[in-house]
Amino acid sequence: MRVVNTMRYLSQICREFHCDIIDAHCMRPAGYIARYLFARHDIPYVLTEYTNPFSAYFDGWLASVASYSTLQSASRILADSESCMLRILPYCNVYEKYRVVYNVVDTDVFHPLPPTASASPPERDGICHIAHVTTMDERFKNTRLLIDATKVLMETRTDFDVTVIGDGRDKDATVAYAREQGVPIRFTGMVLDVSPYLRKADFLAITSVSENFMVAGAEALMSGIPLVSTHCGGPENYMLGVATDGNRVAYANAMDWMIDHHHEFDRQQLHEYARRLFSYDVIGKKIVDIYQEVLNE
């Protein structure tokens, strides 16, 4: 009933304000509503998608019919990464519909430390600081891989520390696992602003099983630090750093290399690279250009 009332209300708005285009974020319910408004008022819409797994929209015949119809009727489908686009393509193979538009990162919040404050070891404290941002859901974020790789790496060196930033359903079990393995990882719990942690880190460790985009990776680059990531999709589309297999030895080797080489990544250059990909002005212009492209058809 709530969705029906929303459709009626938005239909009234479309009539009163003569809307030219609709941008629906995610298929359900926004995409379904946009499809209804298109059928009723002939207003074109773009569908912005970043859902993972995308197959969740096809969990039953009714949902499948509605989802296929929404994809086919969209003027454009905006995916938040190349990996996301590839996951959607099997459900709508009209390639011309697709545009990749990355998530935006606030350059006022995420930026490097001043050069004197971000001096690399041994000038700073002789320790490489590794950050890991997670929602603490082992089904997707796989923080235990970081714990296992850290344990492997501790057999040959101890000149690093690991901070896990975030909270979620598996936090207690993950903390307990780290203690069982004897791995001295710091767990912050929930934080409202991860930017100070990223600025003080030397690189970000990503251990995800699957990602469409991985916002934390983009925020890390904007903060001036490189990435070590599993082959999980999203980060590989934009990352500067090392991508590796999702087993403990391979990941430990990637961490080992980055501990020795992270200082070779210039923080300001990483920030400028990220700004050209994720800043408000760049992403905003790309979206406006897509709207204009649709309206000119």
Across 229-252, average pLDDT: 93
> 85: pLDDT confidence band, cut at 50, 70 and 90?
very high
Residues 153 and 254 in one domain: yes
Q: What is the pLDDT of residue 274?
A: 97
Residues 190 and 80 grouped into a single domain: no
- For 233, residues 6+ apart whose C-beta sits below 8 A from its C-beta are 81, 83, 84, 208, 210, 211, 212, 214
* CB contact at 8 A, 70 and 36: no
- The structure's pTM equals 0.91
**Does 145 share its domain with 232?**
yes
Domain assignment present for residue 23? The answer is yes
Which pLDDT value is given to residue 12? 84
Q: Torsions phi, psi of 23, nearest 5?
A: -115, 110
Q: What confidence score (pLDDT) does residue 8 get? A: 80
Calculate what percentage of the chain has a pLDDT beyond 70. Answer: 96
Which range marks the domain in which residue 172 is found? 128-276
Share of the chain above pLDDT 90, in %: 84
- The residue ranking higher by pLDDT, 114 or 251, is 251
How far apart, in whole angstroms, are the C-alpha atoms of residue 164 and residue 179?
14
Q: State the Cα angle at 95 between 210 and 78, rounded to 5°.
A: 55
Quote the pLDDT of residue 119: 46
Task: Give the residue among 271, 164, 268, 283 at the shortest CA–CA distance from 221.
Answer: 271
Asked if residues 101 and 286 have their Cβ atoms less than 8 Å apart, the reply is: yes
Q: Dump strand ranges (E) for 81-166.
A: 98-100, 128-133, 160-165
As a dihedral over the C-alpha atoms of residue 193, residue 194, residue 198, residue 201, rounded to 10 degrees, the angle is: 110
Structure tokens at 168: 């979620």
Q: Which of 226, 265, 263 is closest to 126 using CA atoms?
A: 263
Cα dihedral sign, 41-97-71-52: negative
Residues 142 and 179 in one domain: yes
Q: What is the pLDDT of residue 123?
A: 44
Whether residue 115 is contained in a domain is answered as no
* Predicted pLDDT of residue 117: 53
Q: Is the domain of 137 the same as that of 271?
A: yes
Q: What is the mean pLDDT of residues 72-93?
A: 94
Examine the domain organization and report whether 157 and 257 are in the same domain.
yes
Mean pLDDT of the 209-236 span? 95
CATH code, domain carrying 198: 3.40.50.2000
pLDDT class of 1 with cuts at 50, 70, 90: low
Mean pLDDT computed over every residue of the chain: 92
Q: What's the burial of 67, exposed, middle or buried (CB within 10 Å: 0-12/13-18/19+)? A: buried
**Would you say residue 34 lies in a domain?**
yes
Q: Are 92 and 170 members of one domain?
A: no
CB neighbour list of residue 250: distance below 8 Å, 6 or more residues apart:
244
Domains in the chain: how many in total?
2
Tens-place pLDDT, residues 112-161 = 987 655 444 444 578 999 999 999 999 999 999 999 999 999 999 999 99
Q: 231 and 153, same structural domain?
A: yes
Q: Are residues 145 and 166 in the same domain?
A: yes
Q: Is the pLDDT of residue 199 over 80?
A: yes
